[in-house]
A and B are shown apart, each in its own frame.
Chain A
Amino acid sequence: MQRLGCKGLSKVLMVAALAMGLGAMSSSYAANEKFVLISHAPDSDSWWNTIKNAIKQAGEDFNVTVDYRNPPNGDLADMSRLIEQAAARHYDGVIASIADFSVLKKAMENVTAKKIPLVTINSGTQKQSEELGAIMHVGQPEYDAGHGAGEKAKAAGIKSFLCVNHYATNPSSFERCRGFADAIGVDYKKATLDAGQDPTGIESKVSAYLRNNPGTQAVLALGPDSAAPSLRALQKMGLKGKTWFATFDLSDEIAKGIKDGSVQFAIDQQPYLEGYIPVAVLAIMTQDKITDVAAIQAKLKANPKFQARLAEYGLAPIYGPRHISSGPGYITKDNLDKVLKYAGQYR
């Protein structure tokens, strides 16, 4: 019995010492503003790596600490707990993606109820962001991204197109097609193909569509998953390089296509900005006690450190009256090398 007491105690002390180390580690930070970014991505998602790097650099530039939190398995119910936790912890600012409005609404209202400034990013719409009482939304509005690409197509004289949609299960995917169609003045429903996920299936569906509609001047792919099979279909029909082609996001095949001229451009969401801008906005708000969004934006534009980052990585945000859009940015022959150099880190 007594030996148990001794041994058990020494073990407890050992663990406690370990814990003290942890405690000491956690209190060694300077007492500056603390923000948190909560994403919906599981641990296995590499796309958010860019955003993690962005919040680190924004933290250095504005002298704030930013924690990154995510539900390990990508479970949105866990994500809402993390948002509640951020409210309970009294962060000076919270950044979160609106992965699902109805699931996260209650938790986000906890944040705004405590008067903690909230910036929403990535998924979700500007309307939802305003409804949640957030300061602004930093993301790529799907319709605008499609519309921006469509205007470039219109300038190239495009009057008909095919939209290859590989994730039709997500209703917001059609917004991209609709934006593009509105810009060149056609009906998007006739031009949109629900291609499914299977690459072979996508390829044959695209071929079939182009055979039935031989006058199609342009193809818009909604991502690498639909871009590669569509390019293969064009190649087999001898249309590669003749048909105007644009796509969302970047992959190795798309980069090759941009190099050899068969792809006009790739639409880039510029995730770095979805990490950097919210941190900068919250820092300006808390450090300079500014609440007016226009004044915050002016201050942000005038910040030399921010401008230096933009120049270094070749990024261009789009400033709106309230919200700031991270995209669409365009990857063309001119900036491809820079993008590839930083891909997965800052682009």
Chain B
Amino acid sequence: MNSSSAHADSNSPAQQNIVPQDERVRKEGSLKRFLGRPEFASLAGAILVFIVFGFAAGDSGMFNLDGVINWMQVAAYLGLISIGACVLMIAGEFDLSIGSMIGFAGMMVAIPTVYFHWPFWLAVMFAFAGSMALGWLNGYLVVKTRLPSFIVTLAFMFILRGLTLALSIMFANRTIVSGVGDLAAADWLGSWLFTGNLGSGLFHWMAAQGWIATAANGQPLVGGIPKVIVWWLVLALGASFVLARTRFGNWIFAVGGDANAAKNVGVPVKRVKTSLFVFTAFCACLFAVLQVADVGSAAADRGLQKEFEAIIAAVIGGALLTGGYGSVIGACFGALIFGVVQIGITYTNLNSDWFRVFLGVMLLVAVLFNNYVRRRVTEAR
């Protein structure tokens, strides 16, 4: 490097310690870099949604502790599956069977627990193994047949929903299997990972101090952070780390960007895709186990249309349908927007008949904004 000698005759001390610049790299402002990140639009959207509801429902109890926990749970459930959907979309694939997988996995937990008297932890292991095997089958078929994943998983969406109904009638003679809640709470794995709240001691103490609202019997209205929110944060951080800091994360982006090019430079494309289908199934099963532990039952219609919600959240979060671009953090903000809008609309006096219209408009605006910002930032050179 002789660039430093070019500055040798300069007298100003400030220029003495200039770091030599690589001419191939252009410096960008940090603001511009931030605006170019995929999650920027969803972050802006989330802030906007909060502003909207701050005005429309600020004094309705939506932002009290129990209100916040309520919509956070909705966002957290959706967040779990949108993380799976997002990572899979970055790899350029699609999973429409997420919602049906939720129903199916829920039954895999509930039926063995209630009807075969398995311990809850065993049923949970069984459900995870079963769902991930189905996820692997999804991935295997996509990779082997070269069919679009849209088609393969569309088939599985129907197959799994049908199996959920048929098997629950076969084993339990009903479409809603309840009585799992107490068994889950009494089980070591269930109580440790899936039921109840985190930090209930802290919340009881805060209630005793009079910092948070209590019910008439002196118990705090919110007994802690529901486990699903904790899971959501853990999964989001884990998936973000893998995407940003590991070789596997690079492979995911490479596979989604251009599968052929990735294969030519030695990325195991098939293995990456298949393992991401397995991961998506894992997310759906986690959703199901947490929900079954929370409401105490599984039902054949659980998770209906959740696959679309997950994909929408990922898209709001900046993921492209074509793959190769997206962010888990963005998807989480997408899920947050979804949860806030879905529950927030019931805090306003809008007739809930209009809920879907409002939601659709909101999503369209978010995605348009997203696209617009991305285009401005990535193409304006």
Contact = CB atoms under 8 A, between A and B. Distances in A.
A75 B176 CA distance: 11
A281 interface: no
B221 A26 contact: no
Contacts of A115: 215-216
A73 B67 contact: no
B181 A89 contact: no
B70 A88 contact: yes
A102 B181 contact: yes
Interface string B313-354: 000000000000000000000000000000100111111100
Contact of A69 (B173, B295, B346): B346
B373 interface: yes
Contacts of B175: 169
B178 interface: yes
A15 interface: yes
Contacts of A12: 44, 48
Nearest to B214: A113
A16 B48 contact: yes
A155 B119 CA distance: 54
Interface string A83-116: 0111111100000000010110010001001110
B73 interface: yes
Interface string B40-58: 0000100010011001110
Given A19-B52, A26-B56, A85-B347, A100 B217 contact: no
A132 to B, nearest CB: 15
Contacts of B57: 26
Interface string A63-77: 001011110111111
SS class, residues of chain A in contact with chain B: helix
B67 A88 contact: yes
B352 A67 contact: yes
A175 B81 CA distance: 41
Interface residues of A, number: 48
Contacts of B380: 1, 4
B55 A103 contact: no
A113 B301 contact: no
B35 interface: yes
B212 to A, nearest CB: 13
A8 interface: yes
B282 to A, nearest CB: 20
Contacts of B373: 4, 8
Contacts of A110: 66, 221
A80 interface: yes
A7 B35 CA distance: 14
Contacts of A20: 55
Nearest to B213: A114
B74 interface: yes
A70 B346 CA distance: 10
Interface residues of B, number: 62
A7 B169 CA distance: 56
A22 B350 contact: yes
Contact of A90 (B61, B71, B297, B356): B61
Interface string A1-29: 10110011001100110011011011001
Interface in A310-344: none
A16 B52 contact: yes
Contacts of B67: 85, 88-89
Contacts of B138: none
Nearest to A168: B173
A74 B69 CA distance: 22
Contacts of B44: 12
B243 interface: no
B174 interface: yes
Given A88-B62, A88-B70, A23 B215 contact: no
B56 A22 contact: yes
Contact of A81 (B62, B181, B343): B343
A102 B56 contact: no
B26 interface: no
B55 to A, nearest CB: 4
A17 to B, nearest CB: 11
Interface string B6-34: 00000000000000000000000101100
B219 A113 contact: yes
Contact of A113 (B217, B305, B350): B217
A76 B294 CA distance: 12
Contacts of A170: 174
Interface in B127-180: 169, 173-176, 178-179
Contacts of B346: 67, 69, 82, 85-86, 89
Contact of B349 (A7, A19, A25): A25
Given A25-B350, A70-B352, A102-B179, A77 B291 contact: yes
Interface string B168-198: 0100011110110100000000000000000
A184 B350 CA distance: 50
A69 B352 contact: yes
Contacts of B32: 1
Interface of A: 1, 3-4, 7-8, 11-12, 15-16, 19-20, 22-23, 25-26, 29, 43, 65, 67-70, 72-77, 80-82, 84-90, 100, 102-103, 106, 110, 113-115, 169-170
- Shortest 5 CB-CB distances between A and B: which pairs? A19-B52, A113-B215, A88-B67, A23-B56, A23-B55
16 contacts: A4-B377, A22-B350, A43-B356, A65-B349, A73-B304, A75-B303, A76-B299, A77-B291, A77-B302, A81-B70, A81-B74, A82-B346, A90-B61, A102-B297, A110-B221, A114-B216
Given A7-B372, A169-B175, 19 more contacts: A1-B32, A4-B35, A8-B372, A11-B369, A15-B48, A16-B51, A19-B48, A19-B55, A23-B52, A72-B356, A75-B303, A76-B295, A76-B299, A77-B299, A90-B61, A100-B176, A113-B221, A169-B169, A169-B173
